[in-house]
Amino acid sequence: MAKTLYFQPGGGLAWSAPKEKVSSDSYVSDPAHPVPFTAYVTGADVPQRYMDDDQRFALTRGDVIAYETEPLTEDITIAGPVSPRLKIASTGTDSDFVVKLIDVFPEDYKTNEELPVNSKRSQAPEIFLQGYQMLVRGEPFRAKYRDSWTEPKALTPGKVATVNFTMQDVNHTFLKGHRIMVQVQSSWFPLVDRNPQTFMDISKAKPSDFVKATETVYHQSDAASGVEVLVLPQTR
């Protein structure tokens, strides 16, 4: 069954659409200080473990916003595509929107065992599962392609725009007691090249073209944002 997890005021995430007349969150995206894709230093090779890495580090930054459910009262299995449905505005003429679907472990998770580190060269910290924010899926989208892959279009600063896209399929069960979280940011470096946040051919961007932009994500009755997923029925 297709269902949508809607962003709510105060950082909530729920299956029901928001009812507020006016509600949004904003952050400043600075290409000179992009959000990294890991909390630790990596080498030339992208570490495979990033695909289910802990995302708690991202929330220490002011340019990442998050929405989270209450603890689940039953297991929820999501299978198939994950489709962000965003209502946004920007002070720039182009911006990226990175959406991450995350499984949040309970703070009282029963094991305190360190997980193995795959690469001896990795400088990743020890991993403990209490409160772990496990990345399930993450995907960027460049706003200028929101209507067409072949005819990019600039954002109008301050004007609400729709950014819909589809992430890779997933087959994941969020267990009872866990929470579902969605994080939104506008950079994911160096997995994704930096967007100057100026509408242009990025390959030709000069340092002066890279500018800060205030990004706004709406969650109100006439401009609801969320993530559409396919939820499997639970078998007893």
**pLDDT tens track of the chain, all 236 residues?**
999 999 999 999 999 999 999 999 999 999 999 999 887 777 667 666 778 899 999 999 999 999 999 999 999 999 999 999 999 999 999 999 999 999 999 988 776 555 555 444 445 556 678 889 999 999 999 999 999 999 999 999 999 999 999 999 999 999 999 999 999 999 999 999 999 999 999 999 999 999 999 999 999 999 999 999 999 987 76
Instruction: Report if residue 149 sits inside a domain.
Output: yes
Question: What is the CATH number for 203?
Answer: 2.60.120.260
Instruction: Report if residue 112 sits inside a domain.
Output: no
Instruction: Report if residue 174 sits inside a domain.
Output: yes
Q: What is the pTM of this model?
A: 0.90
Q: Which residues are within 8 A (CB) of 142 and not within 5 positions of it... i.e. 6 or more apart?
A: 94, 96, 195
Structural domain for 201, as ranges: 2-29+57-103+136-184+195-232
Instruction: Report if residue 108 sits inside a domain.
Output: no
Q: Please name every residue paired with 183 in a beta bridge, in sequence order, or none if there are none.
A: 66, 100
Instruction: Report if residue 96 sits inside a domain.
Output: yes
Strands 76-80 and 170-174: antiparallel
Instruction: Report if residue 220 sits inside a domain.
Output: yes
**Number of domains comprising the chain:** 1
Q: For residue 199, give both structure tokens.
A: 């509408």
Instruction: Report if residue 150 sits inside a domain.
Output: yes
Instruction: Report if residue 46 sits inside a domain.
Output: no
